[in-house]
Chains A and B, each alone.
Chain A
């Protein structure tokens, strides 16, 4: 944590980077009142001069942030992606989403995006955005790269697609399949204006585009190479966390074993990334940023082609769960990156079971469009290659859009955050096994059966590996420790918790950083469940932590009001539940109890 001198304007004002001018102004008014001279709160804390400094700092911050031009410049200077102005995208709330799209971040390096998936496939231009951040300067690597995906001519990348059904590979053999997570493709016309704004103040995310057709070779995952390659028919978010666990990443041949969990973002789901890296360390690298827009039509083609194409590999595809392993080769190039410590992206995407109709549709459309492209690009994977394109669309896709944007969230390797690694990584760890193991099965029916966050037992086998990952990397002096709080949440609207990687401040606080849920959102059981899953907690784990029985938790989440204890006790349950989830307990209990009350008076 930093004192106010070192904070960004956003942190000083205690607003999210996506805050509107109005919010910023309000925050400033509030703080001005709090820190007014006549306030006694500062008495005895600091001398008047420092209090004045703070007030000036607040003024400066609000001046910059309320001026669009200055704010843009400032955002760029601290490495934030360009904002999406309200109004640039038509907001159309998803029916299943109890709330609109929001991307918020807490001041301390954690952000969450509430994404409302669009029911249909990308309509306008789908952009895969690449965004890589490095912490330390020395390397020529772009600090912040904001690359927009597809350039057919991209240099080949060793990202390979593995068909899911090969989970039985020995752990040792598992080379580093990069868990592929969310693809961030956004329909620019979609409501997710959240995307850019979501990145917390100092956030940086790595979303590098790699062409999937590339021959497996080192450097695939390399942020550096990736970033300057504009290619990417599709963006795949590959958290290096679990995948890189194996030391022998270098072996070029892709082993399907450690099935990389792959999460698919709905077209407009935008991963949140953020890294509370020192602002000073961040410098946007304009050179590397490429904006290539992928044609919607193209996408559409692919999307359509995908379902019908019963190519051998594709068992996973319909459901959108092909696994893409970015071969370890990435390691090879990592040294080059040296101190690059890209950040974290933790997009979790989900389709809500609760609203089957919309969800299913979404799953069908969106993932296909994207996933299809992925598989195409990854044709070099032995298996997929064999299968070959079955239809023209595929072939076309293969040729034209071999590139694939691989987004791999990294975590800053700073020692300071070492302690924290374990914690943020946790969700990912738990989540990862699930896709890995379930992919084959899940593929077909993913749309209809959302898997809950991986249960502890399931997570167990793979967890160790993932945990080991950071160590391995650091030992090898590999600069990109796996970050991956990205976890596949199966259902629900996308809740995208971004991971925090404090540059130097240590945060022993075991409690998750609070989620900021937009005001006005009511907390029903469903939302609580979504947040829990976004946290990567199983009911059992939550129960252990809160000492609330799973039965109660289930009833709360299922909104079975009649089965819940009396309000006075329920309140306590909700408080501790919310607390554990990093929510505002008072707000949650108040909101939830209102539902209970309504139910009781009605029934």
Chain B
């Protein structure tokens, strides 16, 4: 592959904006979450970032795991001098200025808050500002590595993303948490879009029925709403239809494990009538922990390993998602 061929293809991947007058905007924000800790979110984000950057995209990795940032370690670089804390605490004006190079061309890192409670628990205003800045980054991809749990901080980052990726392991604990995470995100999204909290509640209840209540699809609730408030119903419908996280199965070992992803997606659809995409799966691989021990990115240290291949496939699929 000659240099110019490469350049041409790289150009293909770039957005063709109408011109310099266009307002800068991250072409695509991808959030990687999953509810449970230790399921490989950071590792996947880091390596996805590398994979995307290798494809010629301009990528910013954002360690949005405010309380437990370690994306830099996954990438094999030391603790950066500037972090998100500097932005949150207004020591730095633009979020671009806290992005540090990673040694991979096209990939920069906005490291997470290192210390201090302030940055780990940003006030609402700070968070909104950060979200706004992230959206305005002039890059091809913004990859958000979310923390564990289903706190509002995590969910809000997840929801601003164009593509929400939910990582899960083929283990009951992880799957349980992943469902919880997806449902929580769904609730959170509804809160913004439902005409009133009552309806958000009811639509939400359809997805997480309590004992004794008949199981209903969220769509039924929307139907109910239509009689009362057609505009609200239409908006809610949009919300429901637009809510489509993508799941990734990590550390798959057996054949059944590989089935888990499609099953989860299919079950979600069957039971709730909501979309859930299946992005792919990464197999369990010893090279992963070895690379973490070595503090090098998986794609750098074991580019041929099954796990690395899985990550590359995920990146392909992510790119393919794009319209």
Contacts and interface: CB of A to CB of B under 8 A. Distances in A.
A547 B16 contact: yes
Contact of B176 (A33, A44, A573): A44
A31 B266 CA distance: 9
Contacts of A505: 219, 237, 241, 273
Interface in A574-603: 575-576, 578-580, 585
A35 B268 CA distance: 12
Contacts of A12: 270
Report whether over half of chain B's contact residues are helix, strand or loop; otherwise say mixed: helix
B14 A1 contact: no
B180 interface: yes
Contacts of B271: 3-4, 45-46, 50, 54
B267 interface: yes
Interface string B309-323: 000000011011111
Given A54-B271, A547-B14, A569-B9, A416 B259 contact: no
B260 interface: yes
Given A505-B241, A505-B273, A573 B172 contact: no
A248 interface: no
Contacts of B240: 506
Given A4-B270, A44-B179, A504-B219, A571 B237 contact: no
Given A4-B271, A33-B259, A40 B172 contact: yes
A457 interface: no
Contacts of A510: 323
Nearest to A416: B237
A415 B264 CA distance: 31
Given A2-B217, A572-B319, A45 B241 contact: no
A306 B302 CA distance: 70
A45 B266 contact: no
A580 B322 CA distance: 8
A551 B251 CA distance: 40
A584 to B, nearest CB: 10
Contacts of A415: 230, 234
A573 B256 CA distance: 31
A573 B217 contact: no
A41 B175 CA distance: 7
A461 interface: no
B275 A509 contact: yes
Contacts of A545: 323
A349 B172 CA distance: 50
B171 interface: yes
Given A41-B175, A41-B264, A572 B269 contact: no
Contact of A506 (B16, B230, B237, B269): B237
Contacts of A4: 270-271
Contact of A572 (B13, B219, B238): B13
A42 interface: yes
Given A1-B273, A34-B263, A39 B256 contact: yes
Interface string B167-204: 00011100111011000000000000000000000000
Q: How large is the interface on A (under 10, 10 to 19, 20 to 34, 35 or more residues)?
A: 35 or more
A31 B219 CA distance: 24
A1 B244 contact: no
A427 to B, nearest CB: 16
A506 B320 contact: no
Contact of B179 (A45, A576, A585): A45
A385 B219 CA distance: 54
B263 A39 contact: yes
Given A511-B323, A547-B14, A585-B320, A41 B273 contact: no
A519 interface: no
B259 A39 contact: yes
A507 interface: yes
Contacts of A585: 316-317, 320
Report whether over half of chain A's contact residues are helix, strand or loop; otherwise say mixed: helix
B1 A566 contact: yes
A520 interface: no
A14 interface: yes
Nearest to B11: A549
A32 to B, nearest CB: 11
B14 A509 contact: no
Contacts of A548: 12
Contacts of A579: 320-323
B148 to A, nearest CB: 16
Contact of A45 (B259, B262, B268): B268
Interface string A43-58: 1111000100010000
Contact of A575 (B12, B14, B244, B319): B319
Contacts of B101: none
B228 interface: no
A111 B271 CA distance: 23
A139 interface: no
Contacts of B274: 1
B238 A2 contact: no
A6 B217 CA distance: 10
Contacts of B263: 34-35, 39, 41-42
B122 to A, nearest CB: 30
Contacts of B177: 44
Most buried by B among A3, A14, A31: A3
A508 interface: yes
Given A2-B219, A415-B230, A549-B12, A42 B237 contact: no
A44 B322 CA distance: 31
B296 interface: no
A552 interface: yes
Q: Which 5 A-B pairs have the closest CB atoms?
A: A44-B176, A41-B263, A506-B237, A575-B320, A1-B273
Interface of B: 1, 5, 8-9, 12-16, 55, 170-172, 175-177, 179-180, 215, 217, 219, 223, 230, 234, 237-238, 240-242, 244, 256, 259-260, 262-264, 266-275, 316-317, 319-323
23 contacts: A1-B241, A1-B269, A1-B273, A6-B273, A7-B270, A31-B266, A40-B175, A41-B259, A41-B264, A44-B180, A415-B234, A504-B223, A505-B241, A546-B323, A547-B14, A547-B16, A565-B5, A566-B5, A569-B5, A572-B316, A576-B320, A578-B320, A585-B316
